[in-house]
Amino acid sequence: MPTADPLRQDARHEAWMRLALEQARAAESTGDVPIGAVVVGPGGEVLAVGRNEREACGDPTAHAEVQAIRAAAARLAHDGGGDGWRLADCTLVVTLEPCAMCAGAIVLARIPRVVFGAWDEKAGAAGSVFDVLRERRLNHWVEVFGGVLEQECGDVLRAFFAAHRSAGADA
């Protein structure tokens, strides 16, 4: 896996990631995979949060990133700020490297920065399997900061899947 460049990371990345981890842990209450996301505005203010809700909503697109992006866009539209659905000058913080669907949503929302925790060796689209966020043939490119609180983010996911494997063995 690529490694994070601590010299390029904003000092706030870890604080924001801790907020995303809170959302990830909240996703477990509905049986969803514990992934959390936060959209941060240009001034560092939290605009919206999201967590995986595929099980809770019965919606395969209800990934943490999509939920947070939808909520941030709705807030900006309601508040009359920003440029409608474009989340320019915002930062998306998520506990797991975005998948291809979420990476596409990030590009379409014009989010300029993504900070993520654990790398996804099976479905990641921010540098591990694919690199949709920095694909030069697209009309928008994203600055990516990966590996922020990587161990902690990965531990939450590993514990979730270990518990599910154990529960399946007990059945």
Give the residue ranges of the annotated binding site for Zn(2+): 63, 99, 102
User: Both tokens of residue 152?
Assistant: 């902690």
List binding-site positions.
63, 99, 102
| Cα separation values, 58 from 5, 38, 53, Å | 37, 22, 8
Strands 91-96 and 113-118: parallel
- At residue 144's C-alpha, the angle toward residues 139 and 145, to 5°, is 170
**DSSP code, position 139:** S
Is 45 among the catalytic positions? no
Catalytic residue among 53, 65, 97, 150: 65
SS (H, E, C) 23-66: HHHHHHHHCCCCCEEEEECCCCCEEEEEECCHHHHCCCCCCHHH
H-state helical runs in 42-149: 54-57, 64-79, 100-108
Question: 137 in helix, strand or coil?
Answer: coil
Active-site annotation, residues: 65
